Structure 1
């Protein structure tokens, strides 16, 4: 019997229940989140809420930032009151949150519903990861976490295709997206109630919730006293600001600027059925299919990329990965050629595969054995700050440089057109096109040539270059003479 088979057979049933719950939770989240930006900014007659880009990105960035901050507290509480109870509460909260997002449309009620969902997700995140840790040992932990991260990406890959199948661009046409997420969470509620067995937990002194939170925050502050860790986390705030443009900016950029009909025609020549399933109302491909190249690439190429970057020191692998991410995303934006979009997203994915796992590995390498858990607990901080700042970059900055709604209003004023400002976004756009004797694709091309919205690529490149240069300085000066032997031995 091989070592792999032996390790595989040692997983208890709770390990598989936890992985299944992760699959459905990621299905629920990515089924909603990958499409949320477009839903929020879409015209009312296409079922959207007609938020501005600034409103959409501010809300998505801030709420997701909170989601990444809370797990450090909720994880500590779960150790006291039990994983099964926390998971049950989490699923009830998330289910209600997804349902409320389906039925409320006003600005502040929607924000409250989304925030409620984020609290539920923050309860879930640390518990499921801890369950995987507690149901594996030294002999099968590597395989166990490999299965877990594969499940994460499978859930993230499947979900957008389900969203394509159940949604449409018409009033009420987006509601099924949220209801499918409710259904996935209900599956998890059944799983935790019927099949989840509480893993063994270390007995700890009885403490109030306030004491637990205070101790947790104190430990984080203690870890941040290590300047090597603090500077690294600050640098990675910029990387996660770049990374989150994939969710906060790219979907709306695709919908606003790309004519993806050539992609549809190419896919149709290979598989008419798949092409028609992915077909958008304008005759191109649905944006979810294009952003989902990212998750698909990770599923198929992560092991290959990981094997390649093993040859390099972690810091250099991160620098190379971040640079590739920036180049890829910039290539997707700099021209409105849809083939550049496909290639750019794939290149970005290669960079992500090189960088993201190495970040976690490197934080662990900075700590002594007795501080690894403490240091790893700080890795949420750059996610937290990066999401928040990403909302600013993909919001006001994007709205100034690349937002189609803003630019068509400028164009109408430039041409001296008289257009009713009370029209819906799509009706306003069509009225401008009509007065200029253009169709929608011609007006989009005119806006592109006049205002160059692809210049947002320079913002992306600036974020990537800043991060790479900062990591180079960090490596050359802050870590000089302070590297571990294994780091010196590598390229």
Structure 2
């Protein structure tokens, strides 16, 4: 196949849509990768000092709703037109990014995050449908490959840009995302509405049909069981954003990496380091997107001819091992290796989910079933919020542990201090340096034990998937 010849077959709207996707993902991940530490971080560093449980509810439910709404917003787009819905989505996106940092209460931030999620939910089905409608059977494979490349390029560069301004003000993180997504207003001028079948039903009828179709899917217990199993994968996967940045910020000693950059590439230590000689947690986590950009083509080539089930099981298992190991140690080099392992599993398993759904769906309901593959992503976000919230708070939260240690020793430290001030005061009262207190809490409270939870979820998903195919479907797929 002549790649250059295939590229020439894509219409202009295809390239416009991909560029729009790039900027949207750039804006989204520019704030989302930093969001967990923004919600739970110390107030003197710009954080809101929410509890981990509050963070879990906000990110889990809010992001879950984001992935549930597209089945409704997709009908709205079919009814009123893609270009109009994209315009509304960008208005909501831009205003939400500007307004979100103005709120500092849990209720206020939650409402604004739901408003932001509405913008994303309006955007998602339209841009995916645009790519589908501007590709053919011949160009679809390469076309969606380009699309997912744009997703990961945006996911990588978004945090790399916003992290440059985090120390000046967290507000700038949101304003930069607002500016990036607002660039899409310009691109919208060049966006041509792709051919679509007009929806003559009323909006009420269209939405009622959506829920009627959900009912048709829900009564297929075999399919619902598969979606629940895959939700286990997404629960594990979302810890990359919900838990890992917080865990690294609280526990992992990244000074060896800071010292290396300080000596060899000072740009990184100066722009992505902290005053205490550590690297930003989000800088470390962001290597997942970089690994995908570099290795996705290689991994996809290797697993291309594997059966979807085998690939998914392998990918889920490798993901489970990688993600659990990221929460295993304080050694940042070990964390890097674990993120790489996780990325390999993600690249192998995640793309095959949609393919497998297409195989197990009834012949006359393939489009319907493919349209509701959002369910495990929705559930995975909600479950991930529970794990990264109350479970992490009980098993691994350094803020909780230091207060327990202070109470155990009978020390009196003002509750009005910021998290960082409280921790430093506790360390001083115990005649330790902050890093020494971190190491003491690590050894005394064993926060890494949460890796057992993540590994168990992943293994259960793999085992359940194996038995599902063997005993429920009764044939290999």
Normalising TM by the smaller chain, what interval?
over 0.9
Q: Is the 8 A contact 2:54 2:106 kept in 1?
A: no
> Per-residue deviation at 1:190?
2.1
- Residue 259 of structure 2 corresponds to which residue in structure 1? 265
| Structure 1, unaligned runs of 5 or more | none
Match of 2:163 in 1: 164
* Residue range with higher mean Cα deviation, 235-244 or 147-156: 235-244
Equivalent residues, number: 477
What's the offset of the Cα at 1:370? 4.1
* 8 Å CA contact retained: 2:155, 2:289: yes
1:235 is paired with a residue whose SS is helix
1:44-193 correspondence runs (5 A): 44-168=43-167, 173-192=169-188
Measured in 2, the distance between the counterparts of 1:210 and 1:412 equals 58
State the SS of the aligned residue for 1:30.
helix
Q: Which moved more, 1:434-443 or 1:214-223?
A: 214-223
C-alpha distance in 1, partners of 2:455/2:295? 24
Which of 319, 323, 337 is residue 317 of structure 2 equivalent to? 323
Q: Distance in 2 between matches of 1:119 and 1:27?
A: 18
CA contact (8 A) 1:220 1:377 kept: no
The residue that corresponds to 2:210 in the other structure is 216
Task: String of CA shifts for 1:184-235, please: whole Å, max 9, x gaps.
Answer: 121112221x21111111133x222121111122123223443332111010
Structure 1 residue 453 corresponds to structure 2 residue 452: no
Deviations for 1:289-314, whole angstroms, at most 9, x for unmatched residues? 11011101111111111122234321
1:441 aligns with 2:435: yes
The answer to whether the aligner puts 1:470 opposite 2:469 as a matched pair is no
C-alpha deviation, 1:455, in angstroms: 0.4
CA distance in 2, matches of 1:338, 1:4: 40
User: Unaligned regions of 5+ residues in structure 2, if any?
Assistant: none
Find the counterpart in structure 2 of residue 200 from structure 1: 195
1:302 maps to 296
Other-structure match for 2:346:
352
* Contact in 2 for aligned 1:100/1:110 (Cα 8 Å): no
Q: Deviation of residue 459 (structure 1)?
A: 0.6
Counterparts of 1:208-287 in structure 2, within 5 Å, are 208-287=202-281
Superposed displacement of residue 139, structure 1: 1.8
* Secondary structure at 2:184 match in 1: helix
In structure 2, the residue corresponding to 1:65 is in which secondary structure?
A: helix
For 1:8 and 1:144, the matched residues in 2 are separated by 9
Assess if the C-alpha contact under 8 Å between 2:64 and 2:379 holds in 1: yes
Deviation sequence 1:262-286 (CA, Å, 0-9, x none)? 1122334442323332212221211
Q: Structure 1 CA distance, aligned partners of 2:119 and 2:266?
A: 40
Q: Distance in 1 between matches of 2:2 and 2:210?
A: 38
1:340 deviation in Å?
1.1
Of residues 302-311 and 248-257 in structure 1, the stretch that sits farther from structure 2 once superposed is 302-311
Distance, in Å, in 1 between the alignment partners of 2:286 and 2:360 is 34
Q: Hey, what does 2:331 align to over in structure 1?
A: 337
Query: Aligned partners of 2:184, 2:302: CA distance in 1, in Å?
Result: 36
Match of 2:392 among 392, 398, 409: 398
Q: Is the Cα–Cα contact under 8 Å of residues 412 and 432 in structure 1 kept in the other structure?
A: yes
- 2: CA distance between counterparts of 1:370 and 1:80? 24
Work out whether 1:386 is the aligned partner of 2:385: no
Q: Is the 8 A contact 1:91 1:188 kept in 2?
A: yes
Q: Distance in 2 between matches of 1:253 and 1:239?
A: 20
User: What corresponds to 2:418 in structure 1?
Assistant: 424
CA contact (8 A) 1:319 1:471 kept: yes
CA displacement 1:322-367 (0-9 Å, x = unmatched)? 1111111121111111111111111111111111001111111112
Alpha-carbon contact 2:236-2:323 (below 8 Å) kept: no
The secondary structure found in structure 2 opposite 1:423 is coil
CA contact (8 A) 2:320 2:342 kept: yes
Alpha-carbon distance between aligned partners in 1 of 2:267 and 2:21, rounded to the nearest angstrom: 30
Q: Do 2:237 and 2:323's aligned partners in 1 also have CA atoms closer than 8 Å?
A: no
Aligned match for 1:293, one of 287, 299, 310 = 287
Runs of 4+ in 1 over 4 A off after TM superposition: none
Secondary structure of 1:399's counterpart equals: helix
